[in-house]
């Protein structure tokens, strides 16, 4: 690769959640919804697409806006377009599926290329022309997942699994919202050939909530979804594209829940899927920033697949890099994969969490899509921790932090959350970004680094610097 890869793998000012990875030709494309920095609700921006060569996962290119909400005849100025997916049809063209706001219907747009200018095509419909979602007690369409099988048949997966006694109680009585459904599409890519079939129920701890996606591996069908827990992507497996599917396990949690005794990062909803590149499987997901779920960013991790099963992937700072980062260099604090306060981490509510005021968080300078690359960790108070995984060191000599803060105290640096420090960096109040550095214990090999702030006041961490002999 030309450069190292980090998490998040797109520029610091870009907020793409719900990423579906697809390889078309020699490029990997990410189709997701589009959040706004410091947004006030989900998915407020028009769809953009990013892509990179399959042989260089560091070389991401913005393909620009591929579809505007104003192109949908049902859209209003404040409408949002939720998580989309794209599938190549039998005619060679590319079809983009999405839902608008909380409408029960699903729209389709079409384009001659994967990341060109899509044009509105119509609503997903039954054979008689009735839009799916408009019949009495019909399927509530949400978070499409598209899959074209080896036999040329195309399947649409859709559904939502909210609590029946919560904010969607009335909708649960009006629509089918029991989980994920499968429907076969006709060759026109908008007419369903089969009635919606429930393939993944919302019942149980790891029951379906949202984010349908399908992959076929070694002749079996792997259904990927976000569970009732919210912070995790799960997988289920079956022998047919329309199920039944048996629960397999967790692909990833955006708080590493399940790999540790407590969340190691601020959690919230997640959505994504899998792709195989050069024999290595990767899981794509998103993280939360700015103390709420409305400014989410795209991340990815290598994941182990063996004997028909996936092992839960741990969060990392290096993601698509193919291995640890160099232990000699300067890095943005935004690539921290673990973050918590002295009181631990939180699950962010959809509109923010009041108690989050005492917790650190990722944020940026500038307005939406106008950032200068200066995304940083804000609100580090006494006992807060930022963790980076991982680096390869050769005789580590010194560690530095770039800080702007009212804080006085020190950062201790260790290779694990509760291990002895290898470096202690005193800091003092500074109105502008200032580098503080200190000698570190000689360190070689692969290690994580955890920066813990001890002191008074509030620190903002912008960068870290590692110096080897």
Q: What are 127-181's pLDDT values in tens digits? A: 999 999 999 999 999 999 999 999 999 999 999 999 998 889 999 999 999 999 9
Count of H-run helices and E-run strands, the chain:
1, 33
Tens digits of residue pLDDT in 57-98: 999 999 999 999 999 999 999 999 999 999 999 999 999 999
Q: Return the pLDDT at 373.
A: 64
pLDDT > 70: percent of the chain:
99
When pLDDT is cut at 50, 70 and 90, the band that residue 366 belongs to is confident
Q: Return the pLDDT at 350.
A: 75
Same domain, 265 and 310: yes
Same domain, 282 and 399: no
Q: Which are the contacts of 103, defined by CB distance < 8 A and separation ≥ 6? A: 74, 133
Tens digits of residue pLDDT in 394-444: 999 999 999 998 999 999 999 999 899 999 999 999 999 999 999 999 999
Domain count, the chain: 2
Structure tokens, 339: 């973050």
| Domain end point (choices 299, 323, 347) | 323
Tens digits of residue pLDDT in 262-287: 999 999 999 999 999 999 999 999 99
What is the SS3 assignment for 170?
Answer: helix
Same domain, 263 and 347: no
In a domain, 99, yes or no: yes
In a domain, 11, yes or no: no
Same domain, 306 and 388: no
C-alpha distances in Å from residue 429, one per residue of 49, 316, 376: 42, 30, 17
Tokens 């939406």 -> residue: 368
Q: Are 468 and 395 in contact (CB under 8 A)?
A: yes
Q: Return the pLDDT at 261.
A: 86
When pLDDT is cut at 50, 70 and 90, the band that residue 372 belongs to is low
Residues labelled as active-site residues? 18, 210
**Domain residues for 268?**
20-323
If you count them, how many residues does the chain have?
A: 469
Same domain, 149 and 285: yes
Same domain, 299 and 331: no
When pLDDT is cut at 50, 70 and 90, the band that residue 371 belongs to is low
Tokens 């009212």 -> residue: 406
DSSP-assigned letter for residue 139 = B
When pLDDT is cut at 50, 70 and 90, the band that residue 56 belongs to is very high
Q: Are 389 and 6 in contact (CB under 8 A)?
A: no
pLDDT > 90: percent of the chain:
93
**Phi, psi angles (nearest 5°) of residue 172:** -65, -30
């Amino acid at each position: 690769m030309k450069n190292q890869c980090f998490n998040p793998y797109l520029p610091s000012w870009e907020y793409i959640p719900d990423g579906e990875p697809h390889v078309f030709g020699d490029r990997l494309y990410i189709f997701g919804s589009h959040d706004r920095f410091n947004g006030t609700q989900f998915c407020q921006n028009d769809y953009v697409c990013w892509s990179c060569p399959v042989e260089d996962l560091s070389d991401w290119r913005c393909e620009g806006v591929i579809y505007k909400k104003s192109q949908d005849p049902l859209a209003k100025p404040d409408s949002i377009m939720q998580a989309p997916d794209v599938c190549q049809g039998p005619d060679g063209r590319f079809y983009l599926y999405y839902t608008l706001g909380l409408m029960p219907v699903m729209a389709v747009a079409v384009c001659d290329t994967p990341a060109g200018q899509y044009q509105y095509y119509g609503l997903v419909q039954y054979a008689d022309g009735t839009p799916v979602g408009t019949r009495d007690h019909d399927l509530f369409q949400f978070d499409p997942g598209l899959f074209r099988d080896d036999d040329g048949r195309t399947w649409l997966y859709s559904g939502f699994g909210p609590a029946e006694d919560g904010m969607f109680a009335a909708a649960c009585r009006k629509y089918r919202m029991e989980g994920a459904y499968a429907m076969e599409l006709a060759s026109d890519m908008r007419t369903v050939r089969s009635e919606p079939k429930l393939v993944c129920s919302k019942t149980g701890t790891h029951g379906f909530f949202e984010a349908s996606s399908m992959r076929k591996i070694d002749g079996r069908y792997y259904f990927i979804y976000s569970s009732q827990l919210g912070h995790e992507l799960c997988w289920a497996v079956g022998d047919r594209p329309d199920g039944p599917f048996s629960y397999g396990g967790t692909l990833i949690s955006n708080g590493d829940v399940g790999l540790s005794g407590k969340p190691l990062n601020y959690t919230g909803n997640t959505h994504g899927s899998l792709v195989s590149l050069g024999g290595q499987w990767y899981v794509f997901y998103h993280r939360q920033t700015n103390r709420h779920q409305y400014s989410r960013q795209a991340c990815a991790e290598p994941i182990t697949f063996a004997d028909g099963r996936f092992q839960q992937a741990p969060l990392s700072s290096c993601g698509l890099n193919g291995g640890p980062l160099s232990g000699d260099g300067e890095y943005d604090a935004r690539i921290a994969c673990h973050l918590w306060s002295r009181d631990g981490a939180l699950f962010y509510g959809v509109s923010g969490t009041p108690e989050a005021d005492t917790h650190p968080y990722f944020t940026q300078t500038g307005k939406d899509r106008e950032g200068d690359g200066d995304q940083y960790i804000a609100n580090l108070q006494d006992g807060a921790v930022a963790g980076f995984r991982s680096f390869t060191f050769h005789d580590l000599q010194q560690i530095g932090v770039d800080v702007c803060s009212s804080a006085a105290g020190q950062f201790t640096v260790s290779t694990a959350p509760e291990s002895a420090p290898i470096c202690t960096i005193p800091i003092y109040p500074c109105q502008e970004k200032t580098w503080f550095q200190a000698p570190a214990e000689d360190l070689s090999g692969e290690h994580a680094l955890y920066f813990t702030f001890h002191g008074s006041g509030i620190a903002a961490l912008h960068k870290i610097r590692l110096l080897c002999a």
